[in-house]
Chains A and B, each alone.
Chain A
C-alpha cells in the first residue's frame, strides 16, 4: 500500500506538479504553432515563399550550418555581449555618480529624459562617421540604445531606497560610501537585474540595427541580405536564432543573479 504523503511532501509535490504543467503547456504551444505553420504552408493556405515554413527553415539551417552560419552567429553574439556589458557598466557608473551627487542628478534629469526619448537609430549615420563602418559602430549603437535606460532605471532605484533603512544607517554614523555599499546597492539588486533583462533585448535591437546599416557579417547582415533576395527561409531562421541568443543571455543573467545574491547574503 502506498504511504500517504506528509503535508510537507504534498506541498513540494504540488509545486513540482505546477512547474511540470507550466512547462508542458509551453511545449504544447510551441509544437502546435510549428505544426500549424507547417500544415498551413503544406496545404497551400499560406504561401511558403512569403511566410516560409518550419521544414524549409530546417533545410536552410542544415545548408547554412555547413557554410558560414556559425561565423555570423559568433559576430552577432560578440557584438551584443560587448554592447550589453559596456551599456551596463557605463550605466552603473553614471547612476552611482548621480546618486553620490544629488546636484548633478538634478542637472542631468531633463537631459536624460530627452536622450531616452530620442530614437537612437536616427544617430546611425553620425555614429558611422565617428566610429567607422565596422563593428565599433554596431557596438556604439547597442550602447546608445541601452545606456540611458540603465541610468534612468538604476538612479531611480537608488533614490527610491527605503528611507527608514537609510536613517537607520545614518543613526549608526554611516558615511555616504558605507550607505551605498551596505544598503543602496544590495537593496537595488532586483532593479539592476531587472534592467539587465531589459538590456538584453535593447542590445540586440542596437546590434541588429547597426548590422542593417554597416555590417558585412552577423545575423542582421544575413536578414538584410536574405530580405533583398526574397530568401524568407533565411530571414525566419535568423530571427529564430536571435530568439535563442536572447533566451541564452536571459538564462545567463539569471545565473549571475543567483551567484550575486548568494554573495551578498554572505558578504554585505
Chain B
C-alpha cells in the first residue's frame, strides 16, 4: 500500500522569553490510507504538539509532514481535528454548529448540507438539530463535534484526547461509536491518547513516544483478527491484555 500521511524527521522547539524547550525530536512514521494510529506517551511529552503540526496549525522547525505527497500546510481542508472538549458554540443550535466548518470554508452547497443532514440522522442527533448544546449530554455533544468535523469530508481525522473529558462509561461508548463511524466513512485516523486500553482497542498501530523531547520509542502493531471490531468487546480478548502489558512496560 502507498503511504497516505508521512511524518519525516520532525523536530519541534517552543520559544519563550525565558527559555527554549525541545518538544519533539526526530520523529518519523508513515500511515496508510484507512489506518488507525494512536500516539501514546507520558504527560507533556509533546504528543499534542506533534498532532497540531500534522494538522498544519503549528509549524515544525525541521522535517516534513506530507499528505499524499503534499505539505500539510497546503492541504488543511483534507484534515479534520477533534479536541479534548467538544468546543461547540453555545449560542448556535446543533445544526448551526454542525455546519460551522462548512460556513467558514464557504462550502454550504446543497450536496454538503444533505451530507450533514445524513450524518445527523445516521448518528441519532437529527431530533436535536434545533436544540442548543446545553440540552445535550457530554457524549452527545462529542458526537456533534465529530459530525461537525466529518461534515467537511476530511480524509484524515486527528483526535486529540477526544474522549478524556467524558466519564468512563460514556467514554467507552463514544469511542466505540467514533470507531464505527470512522470505519464506515472510510477515514484515516491519528489519535493522541494517554489511555492505553483506548489506544489498543481503537488502533491498528500504537506509537509509543518517550518523555520530552518526544522520540519514537516503540511501535506496536495491533491485530485482533478480521477487519471491523467492536472496541468495547475486544477488551475481553486475551490479546488485549498482552498488548496492554507490552505498551505499559514501554511507558514505565
Contact = CB atoms under 8 A, between A and B. Distances in A.
Contact of B83 (A168, A186, A189): A168
B152 interface: yes
A225 B57 CA distance: 65
B57 A167 contact: yes
A172 B91 contact: no
Interface in A166-191: 167-174, 178, 182-183, 186, 189
Contact of A173 (B76, B87, B91, B96): B76
A171 B91 contact: no
Contacts, number: 46
Interface in A153-173: 164-165, 167-173
A67 interface: no
Contacts of A62: none
A172 B87 contact: no
Interface residues of B, number: 21
* Among A168, A170, A183, residue most surrounded by chain B Cβ atoms (within 10 Å): A168
A268 interface: yes
A147 B100 CA distance: 34
Given A167-B57, A174-B104, A268 B92 contact: yes
Given A171-B81, A172-B101, A265 B91 contact: yes
**What is the predominant secondary structure among interface residues of chain B facing chain A?**
loop
Nearest to A171: B81
Contacts of B81: 168, 171
A186 B91 contact: yes
B87 to A, nearest CB: 4
A168 B101 CA distance: 9
B215 interface: no
Given A171-B81, A172-B101, A172-B152, A183 B89 contact: yes
6 contacts: A168-B81, A169-B100, A178-B104, A264-B91, A265-B91, A265-B93
Interface of A: 164-165, 167-174, 178, 182-183, 186, 189, 261, 264-265, 268
